[in-house]
């Protein structure tokens, strides 16, 4: 359980999961909801679901990246 909690904390610190996700998974681990052999798969699966939710809600980093790429192409095209 200690290893799983440490992995969850690392995911939280890296911004890959939300505080709410971290709290839910932490309480599940403490209460014994997840079996130790299954916890790595659950973390990976929940991470994938979290990424889908972020993409649906419009991740701001993705929008900024698209705008920067557009501006670079625009600048290169119109300054020739």
Instruction: Please state, in angstroms and as integers, the Cα–Cα distance from residue 53 to each residue in 18, 19, 58, 66, following that order.
Output: 11, 15, 9, 19
Q: What is the pLDDT along the chain (80 residues), one digit of tens a residue?
A: 788 888 888 888 888 888 888 888 888 888 876 554 444 444 555 555 565 666 665 566 777 788 889 999 989 988 87
Full-model pTM? 0.39
Compute the distance between CA of residue 71 and CA of residue 77 in angstroms, rounded to an integer: 10
As a dihedral over the C-alpha atoms of residue 56, residue 61, residue 66, residue 72, rounded to 10 degrees, the angle is 180
If we measure between CA atoms, which residue out of 47, 54, 55 comes closest to residue 17? 47
């Amino acid at each position: 359980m200690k290893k799983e909690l440490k992995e969850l904390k690392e995911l939280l610190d890296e911004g890959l999961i939300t505080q709410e996700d971290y709290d839910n998974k932490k309480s599940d681990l403490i209460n014994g909801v997840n079996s130790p052999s299954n916890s790595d798969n659950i973390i990976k699966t929940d991470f994938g679901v979290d990424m889908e939710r972020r993409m649906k809600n419009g991740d701001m980093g993705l929008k900024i990246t698209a705008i920067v790429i557009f501006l670079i192409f625009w600048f290169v095209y119109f300054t020739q």
